[in-house]
Amino acid sequence: MPILGGIHHVKLPVSDVERSLAWYQKVLAIETTMEFRDDDGVLRGLVSKVPGVEGTLFALRENPEAAAGLKDFDPISFGVQTRADVEEWAAHMDKIGIEHPPIVEAAIGYILRLQDPDERWVHIYSWETPGDKS
């Protein structure tokens, strides 16, 4: 069987591209690399890079029905190494005014949960697990 080389991109449906773009820029500092506009020049989608996430692109595409179907779901988790890294992200969210619940201690890592404009949960998830002594 041929070997895959990684994940090319992740695409999230959104109800409002401009609103989601502003949130993801504020929260993750995404850098837009390509835009998809309709004949009237309205932004309908985009592709971006996420600092620290090498080799995988992040896309937002207008699709209000699909976005509504993912409400309260957690389709994407960004990885960090340790609980301390998760805590650093929580402090950053506090500094930029993004509300979030307390860090969760899960079986396979520590999680900072953030809710995007379409009320999906975006996670900052540690590779370090509770009880990990390494």
The pLDDT, as a whole number, for residue 131 is 83
Is a pLDDT exceeding 90 seen at residue 41? yes
Is a pLDDT exceeding 90 seen at residue 56? yes
Q: Which domains does the chain have, with CATH numbers?
A: 9-126 (3.10.180.10)
Is a pLDDT exceeding 60 seen at residue 134? no
Name the pLDDT band for 105 (thresholds 50, 70, 90). Answer: very high
Vertex 35 angle, CA 34 and 40, to 5°: 155
| Residue owning tokens 């979030």 | 100
Phi, psi of 32 (to 5 degrees): -65, 130
The pLDDT, as a whole number, for residue 123 is 97
Q: Say whether 63 sits in a helix, a strand or coil.
A: coil
- Residues present in the chain in total: 134
CA distances from 41 to 44, 45, 64, 65 (A): 9, 11, 19, 22
Q: What is the pLDDT of residues 76-92, one digit of tens each?
A: 999 999 999 999 999 99
